[in-house]
Amino acid sequence: MTTPQAPGVQVREIPSGVRLITGVSTSVAAFIGLTFTGPAGPGTPEKVWNWAEFTEKFEYRFDELCALAAQLRTTAERADRLAKEMTKLAANDEKAAQLEQDEKIKYEALEKDKQYWEQEYVSLKTKVSAVFAKETGKYTNTRDKEYETQAGAFRPKPDPALATLRADLAALDAVVRKYQLMRQAVRCYFDNGGGPCYVANIDAADSKGVAGAFEDALTALVDIREVSIVAAPDLWTITDDGTAQTPAARIQKYRGLQSKMAGHCHTMRNRMAILDAPPDIQPTQVKEQYFDATPGFTTEARPYAALYYPWLHVPVSGPSPLLVPPCGHVAGVWARVDDERGVHKAPANEALVTVAAPQYPVTDGLQKLLNPLGINCIRQFPQRGILIWGARTLTEETDADWRYVNVRRLVSFIDESILQGTQWAVFEPNDERLWTAIRRNVSAFLTDLWRQGALQGATADQAFYVKCDEANNLKPSVLAGNVICDVGIAPVRPAEFVHFQVTQLAGRNAG
């Protein structure tokens, strides 16, 4: 300390010697699926911070494609209605002349519409031609119909132009539908409170195919430690190989891919997989059609996966809502709860946004069948909206330690935070001073979690223990270069079943 030169109070800051352990992020999701475009090769994750960045990187001009499909659909419907109206009215001889004049006006209006979307279609195809497997010729004018007048009435002949329009519309709709599930999952993730996430496009055309790109994406996520949530909204789509496979065979493929997701999370130990039950399965059939299918999940991987049911209808521009898997909504809720309450709070009894209705309504009676299986139901309640009504992992019913999602995620959070927050200890002298420093730092971190309500107990000693001394660091271990720190915690568990006992009392006289 330098010698003061002027009278007064002198203040000097002294390092405490405590290296604080900072909690890692628990709300970074990774989505694996099919995207319209992609900045990297198939299976390579790319980080995006918001919905605008996702559309810029993975949906170049996709909105225009969707708008074009909607416009073509409107035009086709218009042409159909027009043809039906003509056929109906043409039977009246007295209206034939007036009909021809009226329809001519309608056709002229339709022709202007067609000229517009013809130009838009050709322009858009030039820029995204790689999406289409083959070129489609320009449409001819729907006004080019031939008429015959017989017995004072005329009838339209079969219209090849309208047939061409319908064929191209079907092809265009197929392209739009192909990329909608991933699109809606990411959109609903952000809408429900999600933050930064990684997106891996697996729309591969090489010899590996989509399934190979899916495995490449899981492998690439190994090097991205900040990912804590893994979801694959297109998993059901990629199990459709175009062959006449039975529903049971498709579910087997689906379970196999889901098992790989859960296995990946078990290997990493710092993340969980959000899985979706297959669509179009009634609540009473889930166990038979899905859970009894093979292959199953390994016992070790089960705690690292959570399954949600049913699929959800989401509002989109079009004649009806779109059916999507719930993983995007759920991932957003997980991130939102982590931010507002902490990772120790069960992500259940939480409202979903950007959803019209579940595919199937689930009642208390039906959930009694699903809850013991580890299926987290999404239910609609009067005056409360659509809520996640479950917080279980896929672990066995007898494994109470890892039954709840928040317990598994809390322990993973603590593991990863201690792992990253104690890197300074590597190559330090392996003696009592190092052991004391580790105990102090880890205890400070766990004490803070206990004060936040993540650990149960009236005192910190009841909530956790940290042991790192000569008792568990024996001489052979020290000579081998090892430092062992034993940590035990008492995580809070959700009040899944709340019981009230109500007793009726006899009237009492005042006084």
pLDDT tens for each residue of 13-60: 776 666 788 999 999 999 999 888 776 667 789 999 999 999 988 887
Report the SS3 class of residue 361.
coil
Report the SS3 class of residue 68.
helix
CA distances from 87 to 3, 82, 108, 146 (A): 106, 9, 18, 13
Between the ranges 97-101, 172-176, 454-458, where is the mean pLDDT highest?
A: 454-458
CA distances from 183 to 53, 104, 175 (A): 12, 42, 13
What's residue 492's pLDDT?
Answer: 93
Q: How many helices and strands in the chain, by DSSP H and E? A: 15, 16
Is pLDDT of 76 > 70? no
Report the SS3 class of residue 141.
coil
What's residue 163's pLDDT?
Answer: 62
| Average pLDDT of span 5-12 | 82
Torsion, CA 450, CA 456, CA 458, CA 460, rounded to 10: -40
Residue pair 345/314 in contact by the 8 Å Cβ criterion: no
Q: What is the 3-state secondary structure (H, E, C) of 94-105?
A: HHHHHHHHHHHH
What's residue 147's pLDDT?
Answer: 29
Report which of 220, 225, 169 is spatially closest to residue 28, judged by C-alpha positions.
Answer: 225
| Average pLDDT of span 242-261 | 88
Outline where DSSP puts E strands in 143-235.
147-150, 153-156, 197-201, 229-231
| Average pLDDT of span 105-128 | 52
Per-residue pLDDT tens digits for 468-492: 999 999 999 999 999 999 999 999 9
Residue pair 488/464 in contact by the 8 Å Cβ criterion: yes
Top pLDDT among 63 and 440 is at: 440
Is pLDDT of 72 > 70? no
Q: 7: which residues sit within 8 A by CB, 6+ positions away?
A: none
464 class by beta-carbon count within 10 Å (0-12 exposed, 13-18 middle, 19+ buried): buried
Enter the DSSP assignment of 371. Answer: G
Angle at 254 between CA 248 and CA 266, to 5 degrees: 135
d(CA 32, CA 236): 12
Is pLDDT of 145 > 60? no
Name the token pair of 411.
């322990």
Residues above pLDDT 70, as percent of the chain:
76
d(CA 482, CA 52): 48
| Average pLDDT of span 148-169 | 48
Is pLDDT of 149 > 70? no
Residues above pLDDT 90, as percent of the chain:
55
Name the token pair of 290.
């899905």
CA atoms within 13 A on the CB side of 439: 14
| Average pLDDT of span 144-170 | 46
Report the SS3 class of residue 335.
helix
| Average pLDDT of span 325-335 | 97
Q: 498: which residues sit within 8 A by CB, 6+ positions away?
A: none
Query: Picking from 20-29, 243-252, 365-374, which range would have the lowest pLDDT averaged per residue?
Result: 243-252
| Average pLDDT of span 426-431 | 94
245 class by beta-carbon count within 10 Å (0-12 exposed, 13-18 middle, 19+ buried): middle
Name the token pair of 301.
């991987």
What's residue 397's pLDDT?
Answer: 83
Enter the DSSP assignment of 199. Answer: E
Report the SS3 class of residue 120.
helix
What's residue 129's pLDDT?
Answer: 42
Q: How sure is the predictor about 115, in pLDDT bands with cuts at 50, 70 and 90?
A: low
| Average pLDDT of span 114-120 | 53
Is pLDDT of 279 > 60? yes
What's residue 153's pLDDT?
Answer: 34
Q: How far apart are the first and last CA of the chain?
A: 76
- The class that CATH gives domain 29-59+179-406 is alpha beta
| Average pLDDT of span 243-258 | 88
Query: Picking from 144-148, 176-180, 240-244, which range would have the lowest pLDDT averaged per residue?
Result: 144-148
Is pLDDT of 195 > 50? yes
What's residue 103's pLDDT?
Answer: 57
Residue pair 195/335 in contact by the 8 Å Cβ criterion: yes
What's residue 166's pLDDT?
Answer: 67
Q: How sure is the predictor about 150, in pLDDT bands with cuts at 50, 70 and 90?
A: very low
Residue pair 24/193 in contact by the 8 Å Cβ criterion: no
Name the token pair of 282.
């009634």
| Average pLDDT of span 406-410 | 96
Q: How sure is the predictor about 142, in pLDDT bands with cuts at 50, 70 and 90?
A: very low
> How much is the mean pLDDT over the chain?
81
What's residue 134's pLDDT?
Answer: 28
Is pLDDT of 100 > 90? no
